[in-house]
Structure 1
């Protein structure tokens, strides 16, 4: 993905093509990757931001084939808004995650929730959408957001991981909706599966995915350990923890780091390991 082929139709698998949206940022990498599943008829996964250039690119990739479903992994604004225009253009239903509206917008503008998302059908864990030669199964993976779904393509043993597992960065877990305990449980859930390849919404395909997920879980546990050690020295505020833990961090990413540290602290608090005292956090006795 280093050449950032925005708008180009790229074949990933016999059943999967990818079209990159023109929304690069420090939080989206080269942009949101929309996946088309199928040959004779299609599903579209994560249609992306409401951008007429991306709509044009998707319609060119669809090439007048019937679209059976427009699937959204979650409702951040870089994932679901184009579903409305794409549904109007194709007549396809919007299917997938539940609607979710919160006042909290997280650490960045493109992570704000899509307030206009209105699915025609919400998929529960294990429910499927089918077309000619393809079956997509919903895999509930709360954590990044409470409504996050991955989608498993049974015929190719591929998992579309949205923002739950990304190919270039760790996932932001931003309270109040983002939940670190749920995120870790969802990683454990994926480790128990036998998917051969992950296709994330941002970043490169992930081969040997179970090993990759173990690394993500280990990284989160290391971050938790850092927090506990630092609080063992003295009480810290969230900004003070980030300053100690993320040396040399791009200033544009400080907000995201603060949200993830807060998510760790809330998880530790819920396990009675830390408590808040004003703006500071301290270890419990």
Structure 2
């Protein structure tokens, strides 16, 4: 099976490239050959890669900057994602598209289900929701995977930031009134490979649509920070005290959902895959970050 993933530098793309198995060839394509802001590049780039399945992972992810660059965010996350799905459809292959918890407004009391109404509160979330709609319209054979709070040994992420700050601070203020499911990109890659294998061997697969794919455990940002820094300290890495603050004490240009919790029960039921517990997934990422 040949899995073609859009983007080379993202956390999920890097994790997929690392996680390739003997029976799976993972090929990442990105700029300049494929540039989602230039839709005319997409069809030819994906056709040349000859995928059996396309993983649409490339995205505009600068949440705050999107408020100042809505046209670019929509060009990449909506129009570009739609072009990727259409390119897959032209080759007669499925597309697995990555989306986000930011399609919700965060006001629900409890984990979000795939059937809950969407209501993004910022440009980034709105552009990703438009991308979901474009993907679904362009290719009926689609899996849209919403995830949240992604961290990994690659790219920029919360775990890396906490370890960097702890290297020269005794105390770090972290938001305590926003909740979600920290999700390792290593686990996302494993889940995608698991689902892709199912799609590849089962031509009669019909459960297309939207799925939530997030970490098993829920916590707030300060709780996640404490686990990261306690684990790091136990492994001989940097550590620091975490001081709880409110989101209103850490102002950002774009609002964040107060509740980003996602229920992944549907994905577990259909594909028989569930993320490991936070302690296992996060410890592995922290260990690898410290080894660098």
The answer to whether the superposition gives a TM-score over 0.5 is no
Normalized per residue, the structure richer in helix is 2
TM-score by length of 1: 0.30
Larger RCO (alpha carbons 8 Å, 6+ apart): 2
